[in-house]
Amino acid sequence: MNSILEIANLGVTFSTESGDVPAVRGVSLRVEPGETLALVGESGSGKSTVALAALGLLPGNARASGGVSVGGTDVVGAGEAELSRLRGRTASMVFQEPATALDPLTRIGKQIAEVVRNHQDVSRQEAAAEAVALLRRVGIPEPERRASAFPFQLSGGQRQRVVIAMAIANSPGLLVADEPTTALDVTVQAEILDLLRALAADSGTGVLLVTHNMGVVADFADRVAVMLEGEIVETGAVEDVLLRPTHEYTRRLLAAVPRLAVTGSGSGSAVSGEAEGAPVVELRDVSVQFGRGPRAVRALEGVSLTVRAGETVGLVGESGSGKSTAARVALGLVAPESGGVSLFGANLRRTRGRARRALLAGVGVVLQDPVASLDARMSVAECVAEPLRVHRRGMGAVERRERVAEVLELVRLPRELARRGPRELSGGQRQRVSLARALVLEPRLLVADEPTSALDVSVQRTVLEVITELQAELGFACLFVSHDLAVVQRFAGRVVVMRGGRVEEQGPTMSTLLHPETEYTRRLIAAVPVPDPVLQRERRERRLALGTGAGA
């Protein structure tokens, strides 16, 4: 009957340099003890703001109105002292970035003990022992030894476990998790979600889960609230909202989510089968080492892969798998220690000077970060025209302008955008400008390194559609690097799965992803959550039966 979290008509406004920005308007929701409510939305929806408001952690330039009640205590009007008593005890929070969430200069055992001693009157030794117990509970192996480790000695997943340990230290009634797994690899994500689910079930904790990932929602939540531009547009039980959405936005959002086909023969893959054209780029037994001596890192070990004319090859893997490094080797940005790299048939390592430039003119590049991929000091037209200036020096200004306008239209952007600066564009628009720049010389190969990973799901869909269309029209080959298996499945004809600098397996997309040969690939696919709660529950049970890697 008594909700652990009750939000009534919450409004939050930020005062910024450019005036007041209302981030949250009239949001009402409740979380009952023992249940998980997922708060979903794209960037700018206000979901993180609601989460921060629940613990009174809004930044100084935010003004909150309305009621937020946690375990009976009112948060909005409360003073800092009262809030300090509440935080870490009645309610705790887990944040998105494990890399920066912990004090780099304090041992993790001490940081957990600090939270314990904030709310329990215990001695230092008792708190330290409690910290070790908590580390064990969150699945950190050898907790007595690890308690004296510094955060940088732990992996991302382990650090997130430490943050979770801090959050459950005093058995809170409410756990607020703001994108707790977004920064983690998909296999680690699955483990962290398992952990959170188990902990919540054990202690009857209510969970407010903020996320943009529908798969995570299907895996974890009991109820869902969908946010758009600061307001809640739909609420309901997870099966209802995800399988039978009523609001138009929810429907659009769900339709835009790339779904990993996990059953049967699978349809919906754009291109399939073996391509027969000549190899456009080829890596033969390539090894790459960064640094020297004891600190050296073997980024790639004996990697071989081929992209043929007109086909799309998806390069997938988790962080540290070497997929980005492989793409950079293909682009000639990284020189391999051993092995051969050929681009359009020519040995890239031997070709220099003018011949090399001529080769590189046939390549288009799109990288991940929409902000850093365009030089903000140049206009869109200048950005897109840069390859023309590098390779077609003789081209006149008028001709250049025409070509820029042409290619902007190809990526479905209006000509007028040419005069604007990148700062005025949205993330999706910037990536399309990046794409336009990549295509302006009519390349035979497009190398795209996580081109849509930093974009919202609905925007992602547009950009991917544009790439697919253009590939069909212009016929370029594409090396597509991504960590998102669903996207790759839809888009690539062949897939190369990488792990730890080596190629784990490769082959036609559908057969490789539906019937993987290696255990790692099987685990990888099993860990990707699908936005269908019924299906996801089955998959989860099957995955847990498979057994997962420990303590990552």
Partner 1 sequence: MDTLLYLTRRIAQALVVILIVTVVVFGLLHALPGGPARGILGPQATQQQITLFNHDQGLDRPLPVQYLYYLRQLLHGDLGTSYTLNEAVSRLIEQRLPKTLVLTVLSAVLGLLLAIPLGMWQAVRRNKPADYVITTLSFVAYSTPVYFLGLVLVLVFTQVLRWFPSQAPQGDTVAQVFADPVALVLPVVTGAASMVAVFSRYMRASTLENLSEDYVRTARAGGSRPGAILWRHVFRNSLTPVIAMLGYYVPVLFGGALVVEQLFNYPGMGLLFWSAAQSSDYPVLLGCVLVISVATVVGTLLADVVQRIVDPRVKAGRT
Partner 2 sequence: MSVQSASRWGLVAQFPAPLIARFARNKLAVAGITVVVLFFLFCFVGPLLYSTDQIHTDLTQVNLRPSGAHWLGTDAVGHDELGRLMYGGKVSLLVGLAAGVLATVIGTLWGSIAGYAGGWVDAVMMRVVDAGIAIPALFILLVVSAITTPGVPGLIVILGVVSWLVPSRLVRAETLTLKSRDYVLTLRAIGGSHSRAITRHILPNSVSTIVVAATFQVADAILLVAYVSYLGLGVQPPSTDWGGMLSAGLTAAYSGRWWLIVPPGLAIILVVCAFNAIGDGLRDAFDVRGRG
Q: Which residues of this protein are in contact with partner 1, per CB under 8 A?
A: 55, 57, 80-81, 84-89, 92-93, 95, 97, 100-106, 111, 114-115, 118-119, 150, 152-153, 163, 166-167, 169, 293-295
Residue reference for tokens 């949250």:
24
Shortest distance (Å) from residue 148 CB to partner 2: 33
Rank residues 97 and 239 by Cβ distance to partner 1 and give the closer one.
Answer: 97
Shortest distance (Å) from residue 161 CB to partner 1: 14
**Cα-based distances in Å from 367 to 357, 446, 448, 470:** 20, 11, 6, 18
Rank residues 328 and 499 by Cβ distance to partner 2 and give the closer one.
Answer: 328
Q: For residue 477, what are the β-bridge partners?
A: 445
Contacting residues for 171 by C-beta, under 8 A, at least 6 apart: 203, 205
Rank residues 111 and 325 by Cβ distance to partner 2 and give the closer one.
Answer: 325
181 contacts 157 by C-beta, under 8 angstroms: no
496 contacts 327 by C-beta, under 8 angstroms: no
Mind giving me the DSSP string for 274-322? ---S-EEEEEEEEEEEES-GGG-EEEEEEEEEEEETT-EEEEEE-TTSS
Residue reference for tokens 């190369």:
496
Residue 346 and residue 330: Cα distance in Å, rounded?
Answer: 12
Q: Which residues within the stretch 193-252 sit at the binding site for partner 2 (CB under 8 A)?
A: none
Rank residues 299 and 330 by Cβ distance to partner 1 and give the closer one.
Answer: 299
Q: For residue 300, what are the β-bridge partners?
A: 288
The counts of H helices and E strands in the chain are 20, 20
The answer to whether the Cα torsion of 376, 379, 385, 391 is positive or negative is: negative
Count residues binding partner 2 (CB under 8 A). Answer: 40
Is 385 a binding residue for partner 2 by CB under 8 A? The answer is yes
Window 434-453: contact mask with partner 2 (x via CB under 8 A): x--x---x-----x------
Shortest distance (Å) from residue 177 CB to partner 1: 11
Among partner 2, partner 1, none, partner that 118 touches (CB below 5 to 8 angstroms by kind): partner 1
Selected binder of partner 2 within 283, 341, 365, 454 (CB under 8 A): 365
Q: Which residue stretch of 81-89, 219-227, 414-422, 483-491 sits at the interface with partner 2 (rule: CB under 8 A)?
A: 414-422
Is 395 a binding residue for partner 2 by CB under 8 A? The answer is no
Q: Which residue stretch of 99-107, 199-207, 376-384, 494-502 sits at the interface with partner 2 (rule: CB under 8 A)?
A: 376-384
Among partner 2, partner 1, none, partner that 106 touches (CB below 5 to 8 angstroms by kind): partner 1
User: Counting Cβ atoms within 10 Å, is residue 121 exposed (0-12), middle (13-18) or buried (19+)?
Assistant: exposed
Strands 223-228 and 231-237: antiparallel
Rank residues 89 and 212 by Cβ distance to partner 1 and give the closer one.
Answer: 89
207 DSSP assignment: E
Among partner 2, partner 1, none, partner that 447 touches (CB below 5 to 8 angstroms by kind): partner 2
Residue reference for tokens 């082959």:
507
Is 302 a binding residue for partner 2 by CB under 8 A? The answer is no
Binding site for partner 2 (CB under 8 A): 17, 331-333, 356-361, 363-365, 367-369, 372-375, 377-379, 381-383, 385-387, 390-391, 397, 401, 418-419, 421, 434, 437, 441, 447
